[in-house]
Amino acid sequence: MNLAINIPDPAASTYGQIARAIEYLSTPGPETPDIAGLANALSMSERALTEMFRKWCGLTPKSFAQAVALDHARKLLRENMSVLDTTYEVGLSGPARLHDLFVTYDAVPPGIYRARGAGLEMAWGLAPSPFGQVVLMTTQYGVAGIAFADEGREEAAFEDLAGRWPNARYRRDDSAVLPVARRIFDPVHWNPDQPVRLVMIGSQFEIKVWETLLKVPAGHAATYGEIARSIGKPSAARAVGRAVGRNPISFVVPCHRIVGSTGSLTGYHWGLVRKRAILGWEAGLISGG
């Protein structure tokens, strides 16, 4: 199956350069970025590099690196370890927080999960995002899947999602998912009057974990252990980790905000480079850059 599609989206094409920059920044340690060396490695001037970062996420390369540094993650943990013990506070500032409030969700009937998607029709397609191309799946209930698809890996990304619900019917429709992708990834289209509706398809335990992830606001971090305690399963940190790893709705269900107990970024189903990219991008939104 040939899934490739050419989407002329500036943000999506910029992500390739951003990803290379993040890899470079992460090598010596993002706390002390070598901006001149990074610009040289990308065959850019320092000014052009800074402009690229500012346009993409509203931060300078140095500020971006600091936003995803280990010390910063530890600071977030120290300041916000109790965030999951509180209810949503609408007064929290920042457009990224507003995005969290523009999402509603529900779970499909348990029978559909047990039947591995039988009876569901999935409309799916490829769309651009600030973090590269995505495979996006929707059902009559709402968005059921978002997976990042690196160049040449579109088919693998589709199969990763489709394999979770092998008995569902799949219909490709890029035009149908494109406006949904815009509402999810473009802050200009974040509208409280048109919330993005999610549908969660998983075991009861997985859905409970994913619902809890939605309570971790942008600019905050939580650990696997904290998630486990918040759902009343304090000894289930490893099981929580597996459920986080199986999150099928990337970005919107923010598994990228979950870190290790020491503040380390740990793994991410779609790659640590992309996890750093999303965290830095969110930091730019919160800073009002």
When the pLDDT of each residue in the chain is averaged and rounded to a whole number, the result is 82
Question: How much is the average pLDDT of 20-49?
Answer: 80
pLDDT exceeds cutoff 70 at 104: yes
Predicted pLDDT of residue 6 = 40
Predicted pLDDT of residue 8 = 43
How far apart are alpha carbons 194 and 210 in whole angstroms? 22
Give yes or no for a contact between 283 and 57, defined as CB atoms under 8 angstroms apart: yes
Quick one: pLDDT band at residue 27, thresholds 50, 70, 90?
A: low
pLDDT exceeds cutoff 90 at 113: no
Give yes or no for a contact between 135 and 184, defined as CB atoms under 8 angstroms apart: no
pTM beyond 0.85, yes or no: no
Determine which of 10-24, 120-134, 148-162, 167-181 has the lowest per-residue pLDDT on average.
Answer: 10-24
Predicted pLDDT of residue 32 = 61
Predicted pLDDT of residue 244 = 94
Contacts by residues 106-113 (CB-CB < 8 Å, ≥ 24 positions apart):
106/141, 106/142, 106/197, 106/198, 106/199, 106/200, 107/199, 107/200, 107/201, 107/202, 107/207, 108/139, 108/141, 108/199, 108/200, 108/201, 110/204, 112/201, 113/201, 113/202, 113/203
How far apart are alpha carbons 22 and 212 in whole angstroms? 28
Question: How much is the average pLDDT of 88-92?
Answer: 38
Q: From the CB of residue 252, how many other CB atoms can be counted at a distance below 10 Å?
A: 19
Q: In what order do the strands lie in the sheet with 121-127?
A: 103-107, 196-200, 143-148, 134-138, 121-127, 169-172
pLDDT exceeds cutoff 70 at 94: no
Predicted pLDDT of residue 5 = 40
Positive or negative, the Cα torsion across 44, 46, 51, 54? positive
E strand or H helix that includes residue 161: helix 154-162
Residue with tokens 């996420």, as numbered in its chain:
57
pLDDT exceeds cutoff 80 at 85: no
Amino acid at 189: H
Predicted pLDDT of residue 262 = 79
Lookup: tokens for 225: 């252990």
Name the active-site residue from 255, 277, 285, 286. 255
pLDDT exceeds cutoff 80 at 35: yes
57 is annotated as an active-site residue: no
How far apart are alpha carbons 3 and 282 in whole angstroms? 29
Question: How much is the average pLDDT of 206-235?
Answer: 89
DSSP state of 195: P
Amino acid at 288: G
